[in-house]
Amino acid sequence: MKNRLCTKFLGLALCSVVMQVQASSTIKDFISSGSRDIAYFNCAYKGKKASKKCLVSHSFIKSNTHPELKKFYGPNETLTAINIKWPDGDISRYAYVDSMDMFNLNSKNGWGYRIRDKDDMDGWDIDFSRGFIIDGSPHGENLIRLW
């Protein structure tokens, strides 16, 4: 009787755990949703893979968060930002701006970054073939990669 009760309890506990496990988000799903969810992804900076996964989240900011954005958009434009917490504790923050460009919120003049894109029949689209890539200036090098 005691053995049977333990087996039933173990079965219920296992079912509970299985129901709580969700499939991990792909970087494409995460970026496309633009939601405030958080997720862990492999990450690299200037081609060097981080030792652990990065914690990635989206947030909404006002353009008055940064003087350059305020000049460009005015004071009250709402923008979506991606936040990347690196394993060493450093945090990168980029705002999505027009035409696949990204704005580095941690920089005095944050212009000069863009999402790696591809040309398709319907116009420009994000190229997720190697993950989500933010290219930096001056020559469009692969600055940040999430996958």
At 22 the pLDDT is: 41
pLDDT digits (tens, 9 = 90+) for 42-65: 999 999 999 999 999 999 999 999
What φ, ψ does residue 19 adopt, rounded to 5°? -70, -25
Find which of 22-26, 41-45, 94-98, 125-129 is predicted with most confidence, using mean pLDDT: 41-45
Kindly state the helix (H) or strand (E) to which residue 31 belongs, with its residue range: helix 27-33
Question: Over the chain, what is the mean pLDDT?
Answer: 82
Tokens found for residue 3:
């053995």
Give 124 or 85, the one with higher predicted confidence: 85
Kindly state the helix (H) or strand (E) to which residue 142 belongs, with its residue range: strand 141-146
Query: Is residue 73 helix, strand or coil?
Result: helix
The whole-angstrom separation of Cα 62 and Cα 73 is 10
DSSP string, 80-97: EEEEEE-TTS-EEEEEE-
